[in-house]
Chain A
């Protein structure tokens, strides 16, 4: 083997608007980087193989699976988690609607749900319930039965569309 392959990788990236420099093991995924290296425990790891969506975060503006995003690939990336999105008020209306509709119980899935919903809402328009379901189909919730989540997302999409018109 050559020394071209490294076991530990030096990384510079931006997390929630702040520059971060750290060294990670080569097999580190983004959720462990966030939770273990940076102490940002809002993003959750459920299945760690891409199925549940609890780990959904934004990388360069697009939702990705944190558990399937290998940290060494993130040099220069711009990462946003539920902590940063909350601080900047970027999901405030979604959060309020989730509370109002009881769209969470244990809350394990919620940070991922909010990031996935944000992508749909930010795309504009008023998606139908079927479109909301299809879009959110990659995020599992073991508590709520989904109906309330669809309600909350639908409410915010409508409110934003009305706000944009008035």
Chain B
């Protein structure tokens, strides 16, 4: 006969009360893990997207700010054009150390000449690029050839077609970028020359021509000198060049971030309420359990169980229920987040990145430990009270 066996029997003995504690623990742990995953994941996503951009300022035609954010966050293609002379004008602004133009393109929807519909495509100029090139040099030993592309983590070559078709042009997927959780995961990057090749091929191979207006670009990526003030440089670009908007990347996704912050606040408040209620319920249930078993606890003491033994056996019982409930709650929460990911992203308006298995396990363990602590604290008061009571009193009717 061991203590753990007694605790297991007692935990499973009264099914209804056991289930209440189990359910409370599941709720406590599940809520903590799901809100952490979503909010932390969203924050990480935004952060990674910003890092991926790798520029201090993005200059785009006026009025396309919102759509650029959607393109970066959700992968909804944006189309905007401005004269390529803007690039030189931006480069002339004091404090600017590097500029590189980009073209924003997209695949066609519902056309067999494109493997993936409505994919956001970004063409960069290899000679000036400073955003993608460092990654390419590190991971692919050099830049992309004409006809090659790198994709976000969710871009893959359709198995039944064997090639990745863009306007009827077969692209060679040379590499995959790490996931960010954002729309960038479903975007592709290639060079200007590749873009022009695709445009040329589209005349004969695609149902619709890919149109790149001559001598135009979609955006200019800007790097600011380390001793210059980004905000000031942006203001000067704004003043010097009419018809464009300089977007400071560290101010991007401001709406999303504010929304995230208010979401965090309400989630914390909700969590507080749920935890308080759950702990109160557990305390009540344990008081009932302890009261019902008062006599038997008195008997245990008479048979030589120490106060601490009684206390330990009750806490062990709470821990067992909390463990079972916590693990279940966490598993259900993670599963639900995987299954309803798109729904949650739609509701929040912000994508979120689910951490890798190891990180996920660490978060899960953290949530489990929290729930365990909560349950033990709730069960502690009734358990301590009964263990301190005179055995003779405990044994009375």
Instruction: State whether these chains interact.
Output: no
Interface residues of A (CB under 8 A from B): none
